[in-house]
Amino acid sequence: MSESATDKSQLDKYEQHYFSSYDHFGIHEEMLKDTSRTLSYRNAMYRNKDLFKNKIVLDVGCGTGILSMFAVKAGAKHVYSVDMSSIIGKAREIVELNGFSDKITLLQGKLEDIQLPVDSVDIIISEWMGYFLLYESMLDTVLYARDKYLVKGGLILPDKCQMFIAGIEDGQYKEEKIHYWEDVYGFDYSPFIKTAMEEPLVDTVNKQALITDSYKFFEFDINTVKKEDLAFKRPFELTSIGDDQCHAYIVYWDAIFPGKEKIVLPTGPMNHYTHWKQTVFYMDQVLELKKGDKIFGEIDARPSTINPREYDIELKWDLNIEAKDESRNQKGSYKYFLR
C-alpha cells in the first residue's frame, strides 16, 4: 500500500468543507446501512463476475473501502482506492484486517492531484451521487478519471442515470415549513418565507403523497457525458392521477449498472428507502387538480457560479385546463438554490 497526500490547505474553502464532511464516522455508517445503495453495488459486481475477472479497478471516493472489497471478491486482479478524506486511515485498517492488503492499494488525496501507480484501469467504480443526483456529487472527478485512466471499452459502475419529477400533495408540511413564518408567537416573520421557499427540502416522501405520474426529464451515459452537459434545461409533462391539490414537486433518480444482469439503484418514493431520500420543491401557489389534468413545465438546473458543487434550479409550470374549467388555470415559476 502507498499513500499520496494532498494538503487540504491547498483546497478552496468549498472543497475543504466537502471533503471534511466525509472525515466523520456517522456519514459512512449511514451509507453502509443504506442497504439499497450498498447491495445494489454488491449485486452489480457479484452477479457479473465475468466483467471483473483479472481486471484492474479504480475506486473513486472509496470511503471505508466496501466497494473495493466487493470488487476483489468479484475477481478483480487489483484495486486502486482513492479518497481525500481522513477516513481512508480506517479503510486501511479494514482492508488489512480482512486480508486484502495485497489486492487493494489505498491512496489519500484528490484524484486530480495524484498519479496512480498504473497508466490505465479496466473498470471505474464510484458512489459519487448526491442529493438531486448532482448536488455535491463527485461526478466531475469520475469524468476526469474516465478520460485519464479508463481503457477504451472499459466499464464504469454505475454507467447510466435517469432523473424524474412528480407532483405531490403536501399541504400539512407546507403549512409547517412555509406558512409558519406568517405568525411566530404573534409576530410577522414573513421575510423568512422567501428563504424557506428557496431552499429545497431533502426528505422522505410517502408514496401516497404522489398526485401526478412521474416524468423522466433528464438522462445521461457516464461513458460519454461531458461536464458541460450537467447544466441543462428540460421540459416535463405531468398528468394528475386523482382529484387533489398539488403543493410541490419532487425530484428523484435511478442509477443503472452495466452487465448481463441489469441492476438498478432507485431512489423514488415508491421504492425502498435510501439516504438520498427525495428533493422537494414547494411552489408559491397551490394547483387545484382533477384526474387527467396536465401540468406542462420546465426545469433549468446548472452548477452555481460561486461553488460548482451546488446547484441553481428554476422550475416553471403551467396548468392549462380546457375552456369549461379555465378558472383553475395557473402558471408560475420559482428559483431554488441547493446549498
253 burial via Cβ count (<10 Å: 0-12, 13-18, 19+): buried
Cβ-Cβ contacts under 8 Å for 206 (sequence gap 6 or more) = 269
Given 29, 93, 112, 136, which residue is catalytic?
136
| Dist. CA 267–CA 282, nearest whole Å | 19
| Dist. CA 276–CA 253, nearest whole Å | 9
| Dist. CA 3–CA 225, nearest whole Å | 30
φ/ψ of 149, rounded to 5, equals -120, -25
Count of residues in the chain: 339
Given 3, 127, 182, 199, which residue is catalytic?
127
Residue entry with cell 441492476: 263
Q: Is the dihedral of CA 180, 194, 296, 230 positive or negative?
A: negative
| Dist. CA 328–CA 313, nearest whole Å | 26
Whether 255 and 27 have beta carbons less than 8 Å apart is answered as no
Residue entry with cell 391539490: 245
| Dist. CA 38–CA 40, nearest whole Å | 5
Q: What is the CA radius of gyration of the chain?
A: 22
**Is 136 among the residues known to form the active site?**
yes
The string of DSSP codes covering 106-156 is EEES-GGGS--SSS-EEEEEE---BTTBTTT--HHHHHHHHHHHEEEEEEE
| Residues annotated as part of the active site | 127, 136
